[in-house]
Structure 1
């Protein structure tokens, strides 16, 4: 894996997004681009947020980084995408949404097109490409034309069951079959693939693989947040240690001191946490265990720093009442 090549590609992505975003923040932690789950946090001009992982080759990204990107995305309710140029040595096709370990991946040109409000209809499903169809519109068009499932199936050279599943939305046609359906019923049967989907369902939230806490303080904070009605996620490959979101839309990003981390190391983390916080409309906090003297030494602008005891009390004071009112 070439770190230089990935950095060059990252700079190209930043340059293309710069004039198309309201805010764009580069997350420089961890220092190596090949060890991060998040490279860029973006707030678009329509006020949508986006977490971005960048890699020249999609197949070079370790599964753990993708799992974490997806976990933070779903638990925080912030859409995420991987931007790559190649997959298994082959250029990514513009206008196609690829899938990698459950995460969406696209070429840079595809993301730019989506930001500029151009619809995407083709996506990768395992080793094949499929077309996103609006099942209700397809059924409506078929009925309006007095066509049976069998007639449509005969024209497509597929089974009646396949057409039935298309209309239920449980199966999508290949690009070739999708083109035939468009020729029969028109382009309005298409349904865009939403790169910026922000409302994960309960099943998606529950399916996210948990990562164990590194230190006891993380476990204590996560438990307290869950008691207060937050959904939490523990991260290991980006600047935050805990991400959390509640039903009121409050998003919290937390750094927890590990071992003997000093003020300098925590300040570097805090600067990146504040950038991520700004770009995702989240609140940021640093928790230093019981080292009260560290609080004055950490260089922060917007983030707030607490001892563990102070932070647990802060959470109780600010969110316990909200949870009781639910």
Structure 2
């Protein structure tokens, strides 16, 4: 963890700006950084499983209400090394290796995602069909080339299923990388009504369990609520980094 944090801070120093940090204990986030004009709430952990489900909910609430993407920089997922260029999506929060983050900062967006132990890519079905037809290739011919069924290729073109790593790599070799959809790490996380209800403690007020503020409130502005003096100063620093305000309870 210390080595990964140090390496991450070095990347931030060279490519961006550190706006907030606290490593006193494992909060839902570790720091807030800015690259170009985009801020990120960042969690640094050795393994993705070290990030609790309650921390994930905190990240989603903070991201959703401050319009600041959350990313988790990790070395592994369930003990297995997270490969460069592959992201792990957990409840709409993106986990990636530091090497993948460095690539993104160079403009190289990831294509592959890890889900339930399988690496896949989302294929742009319209582009795949158009390029296949331009190449004069039938569904059957492409299926034979990829080592899958005709029905599978048909479902790729309809956007019904994702392609496993080896098949996706073959599709990219044949038709080019733009036939695979890029993963947008800046996309706002989806927060379900059930997730909101599980944390709601008042009108547009949601409890935070693993953060410096005790709650977050959304009115015409975003407000971080602090109930005590222990973490108040860090709540102020976090609010400043995220463009929010602080309210003492």
Give the TM-score of the pair, scaled to structure 1.
Answer: 0.68
Residue from 27, 32, 36 that aligns with 1:41: 32
How far does the alpha carbon of each residue in 1:52-76 deviate from its partner, in whole angstroms, 9 at most, with x for none?
Answer: 1111122222222223223332344
Residue 195 (structure 2) pairs with residue 209 (structure 1): yes
Residues 114 and 195 in structure 1, CA contact (< 8 A), matched pair in contact too: no
1:205 counterpart SS class:
coil
Shift of 1:196: 1.9
Give the TM-score of the pair, scaled to structure 2.
Answer: 0.86
Which residue of structure 2 aligns with residue 20 of structure 1?
15
Structure 1 segments unaligned to the other structure (5+ residues): 1-5, 214-218, 227-231, 289-326
| Structure of higher CA gyration radius | 1
How far does the alpha carbon of each residue in 1:39-88 deviate from its partner, in whole angstroms, 9 at most, with x for none?
Answer: 1112221x112111111122222222223223332344321111111233
Residue from 209, 227, 241 that aligns with 1:279: 241
Residues 75 and 81 in structure 2, CA contact (< 8 A), matched pair in contact too: yes
User: Greater helix percent: which structure?
Assistant: 1
Shift of 1:238: 0.3
Shift of 1:207: 5.1
User: Greater strand percent: which structure?
Assistant: 2
Residue 98 (structure 2) pairs with residue 108 (structure 1): yes
Residue from 213, 230, 249 that aligns with 1:240: 213
Residues 122 and 161 in structure 2, CA contact (< 8 A), matched pair in contact too: no
Instruction: Give the whole-Å Cα distance in 2 for the aligned partners of 1:59 and 1:234.
Output: 22
1:19 counterpart SS class:
helix
Instruction: Give the whole-Å Cα distance in 1 for the aligned partners of 2:221 and 2:103.
Output: 29
Which residue of structure 2 aligns with residue 32 of structure 1?
25
Residue 187 (structure 2) pairs with residue 197 (structure 1): yes
Count of residue pairs the alignment pairs up = 248
